[in-house]
Amino acid sequence: MKNSIIITVITALILMFVSLISWIINQQTFAIIASNLGLLILAVVVLWTNRSDLPKI
């Protein structure tokens, strides 16, 4: 794996952890924003790394 992909995945996982902490301390709005951003980053990274395996339309 490339170094940039690893850093991006770690950033997304940190956002998910921040979301969990925000939910625990009762900051629901920030928790939702952080989790959605982390999920979006993970989805983009997975699709980008596997773009050659995706079916052609």
pLDDT recorded at residue 30: 93
pLDDT recorded at residue 41: 92
Among 49, 22, 48, smallest CA distance to 35 is for: 22
pLDDT recorded at residue 55: 78
Q: Is 1 exposed, middle or buried (0-12, 13-18, 19+ CB in 10 A)?
A: exposed
18 phi and psi angles, rounded to 5 deg: -60, -40
Position 16, amino acid: M
pLDDT in tens, 2-57: 888 899 989 999 999 999 999 999 999 999 999 999 999 999 998 888 888 777 77
pLDDT recorded at residue 2: 82
pLDDT recorded at residue 34: 93
